[in-house]
Amino acid sequence: MTVDLQLQPTTEPGRQFVELAEKHAADFATRAEQHDREGSFPSGNWEAMRQSGFLGACAPADMGGLGLESLFDVTVGLNRLGRVDPSAGIGVNMHVVTAWMLNRYLGLLGRHDYTEVLQAHLRAIGSGQAVFCTAGTEPGSNPMYPMTTATPVEGGYRINGRKIFATNSPVATWFFTIVRVDDGAGNYQSGGAYVPRGTPGVTINNDWDALGMRASGSNSMTFEDVFVPADQVITFGPWGSRPTFHYEIATVGNIGILGVFLGIAEAARDATVELARGRTRARSGRPLAERHAVQHVIGELEVDVHVMRAAVEHCGHLLEATFGGRFPSEDEMVAAMRHFQSTKTFVNQRAIEAVDRAMRASGGAGFMAASPLSRMYRDVRAGPFMQPWSPLEVYTYLGQLALGLDPTDDG
């Protein structure tokens, strides 16, 4: 009997979500190489996910969704996509986690002026009418210090600024952009604005041309005097502070992506096992699987995969317990960020090492563009550069926390 050791969903909506993810993954696998080679965005894949209800999973059941509330189960589903199409995995994360957070705030706020906006967005997601793109990253800044500015005008705000890495931008119907909100007196609040596609002044620059994740549509965007009604702009706290929402975006908003990078490592392990079983040595005719050197590399890949699975599972459940259904304390948020950032750094590095091992075992075959390992080798290197902390900053940040120091930002 073979024991299935892959990550498994824990709830019924999660089981449905993972089942849909596996079906879509099998379909996307037939086109992933082509889209990677062309650097093209797979709009047809997104239409398929919309029609199946996959994109609406985190909307409440009475709003057309699956009622998926388990953050860990979201991660498991994205893990399945990550094995064959990491570009789709990171893109779906940006959308479904937005729905997860909207539903969370709807439940926590109760009766509040903003609940009508939350409900409208969730109904649109549940019915498949809305796809969200989070436009948060800016060149030379970080999400705590956005330079994109929302200036108050009659009836709302005018937004001006530039964003990069706007994943899903070719298909998004709504853009949630991180801004600083001017109070009219020279002071700023950190905030976010919901901007519908087609709003005058919004430009998607169609300039995504990267080493990896080439089918993610992560274009840059510009906002030029974009008007947004007042009820579509929210504030989190003083500009540069670390409000609850910052911790949620940085942890909850990214845990699913770790499932994607775990998926890349799993796929590299599987490709190496298949190669070792299927290829033979020319002189002896014996399979590569009988070579001790190949067995050793596969043993290392086994360790990589099993330890990464454990780390992602533990972190997913911890974040779910911290943010699910309640507002955590500041100490709990800091602890969650510390745990997530440690897990993210470990998984990103270990996934890169796993693909490197697989490339070594493949010999020259993995170096060829037609090999799935070639794409994995490029895609997996996107992980360390995703928010919140870059490879240049992460160890200083974690060291400061461990030493009991207040993490600083050097601008």
**What would the DSSP string read from start to end of 263-285?**
HHHHHHHHHHHHHHHH-B-TTT-
Third-level CATH fold of 244-402: Butyryl-CoA Dehydrogenase, subunit A; domain 3 (1.20.140)
Q: Going by CATH, does the domain composed of 134-238 fall within 3.40.50.300? A: no
73 closest CA partner among 111, 33, 126, 17: 17
* Predicted confidence (pLDDT) per residue in 180-215, tens digit: 999 878 889 989 999 999 999 999 999 999 999 999
Q: Alpha helices of 56-109 — where are they, by DSSP H? A: 71-82, 86-109
Q: Going by CATH, does the domain composed of 12-130 fall within 3.30.465.10? A: no
Of 23-27, 217-221, 226-230, 358-362, least confident by mean pLDDT is 358-362
Does residue 113 register a pLDDT over 80? no
368 vs 377: CA distance, rounded Å: 11
* Predicted confidence (pLDDT) per residue in 384-394, tens digit: 988 778 888 89
Chain centroid to Cα 251, Å, comes to 10
* Predicted confidence (pLDDT) per residue in 132-185, tens digit: 999 989 988 777 789 999 999 999 999 999 999 999 999 999 999 999 999 878
315 vs 344: CA distance, rounded Å: 9
Domain ranges of the chain: 12-130, 134-238, 244-402
pLDDT at 111: 47
Helix count (H) and strand count (E) of the chain? 12, 8
